[in-house]
């Protein structure tokens, strides 16, 4: 005996499948993390023009700070010119993919002109190093993109990584 789907049963089946598909997408959307880039985006938007001016001042310095990092180095070194004088501020290692991994470090005013940041325990991948400081009554801001590829950095575990490590052994 051949089973035949009647027209009204087909419509009801289509509505049920549509409902199940919608409920599935609603479930996925509610369980998906909805992290913002920053929690206080509105207040940061209010101060955006000041950040642009601070960034311009940082770029126009006669000898601006610069970052030294090569794959395989255990540290990120920030070379801070002594000519900037007494600095107060902080360094933020911002991870665009995961806000929980962000790291804030105060600027070390030890006077030797170098500040080292250990990368041990940091995940590999893209990091944005943001440096904000006040010197001689002026605000300054600079940022650099750094891609950590060091063996000291903590590797994110993905399916592909597990395959490559299994094949290498």
- pTM to 2 decimal places: 0.62
Give the rounded percent of residues in the chain with a pLDDT score beyond 70.
82
Spatial separation of the C-alpha atoms in residues 105 and 91, rounded to whole Å? 5
Q: pLDDT-based confidence at 4, cuts 50/70/90?
A: confident
3-state secondary structure string across 67-126: EECCCCCCEEEEECCHHHCCEEEEEEEECCCCHHHCEEEECCCCCCCEEEEECCCCECEE
- Under a CB-based contact definition with an 8 Å cutoff, are residues 122 and 93 in contact? yes
Instruction: Give mean pLDDT, residues 128-151.
Output: 85
Residue 161 has pLDDT above 50, yes or no: no
- Under a CB-based contact definition with an 8 Å cutoff, are residues 111 and 65 in contact? no
Q: pLDDT-based confidence at 12, cuts 50/70/90?
A: very high
Residue 165 has pLDDT above 60, yes or no: no
CA 93 vs. chain centroid, Å, equals 8
For residue 15, what pLDDT is reported?
Answer: 96
| Element (DSSP H or E) covering residue 145 | strand 138-148
| Element (DSSP H or E) covering residue 30 | helix 7-31
CB-hemisphere CA count at 13 Å for 145?
Answer: 3
**Topology of the domain comprising 41-148:** Immunoglobulin-like (2.60.40)
Per-residue pLDDT of 79-128, as tens digits, reads: 887 777 778 889 999 888 777 888 898 987 556 778 888 888 888 888 89
CB-hemisphere CA count at 13 Å for 65?
Answer: 31
For residue 103, what pLDDT is reported?
Answer: 87
Spatial separation of the C-alpha atoms in residues 7 and 94, rounded to whole Å? 57
Higher pLDDT, 154 or 162: 154
At 94 the three-state DSSP class reads: strand
For residue 156, what pLDDT is reported?
Answer: 46
């Amino acid at each position: 005996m051949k089973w035949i789907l009647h027209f009204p049963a087909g419509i009801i089946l289509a509505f049920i499948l549509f409902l199940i598909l919608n409920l599935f997408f609603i479930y996925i959307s509610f369980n998906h993390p909805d992290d913002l880039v920053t929690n206080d985006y509105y207040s940061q938007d209010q101060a955006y023009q000041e950040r642009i001016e601070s960034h311009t001042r940082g770029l126009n310095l006669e000898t601006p700070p610069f970052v030294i990092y090569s794959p395989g180095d255990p540290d990120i070194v920030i070379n801070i010119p002594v000519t900037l004088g007494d600095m107060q501020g902080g360094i933020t290692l911002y991870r665009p993919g995961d806000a929980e991994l962000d790291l804030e470090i105060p600027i070390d005013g030890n006077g030797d002109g170098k500040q080292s940041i250990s990368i041990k325990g940091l995940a590999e991948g893209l990091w944005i190093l943001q440096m904000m400081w006040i010197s001689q009554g002026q605000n300054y801001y600079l940022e650099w993109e750094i891609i950590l590829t060091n063996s000291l950095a903590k590797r994110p575990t993905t399916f592909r990584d597990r395959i490559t490590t299994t094949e290498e052994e």
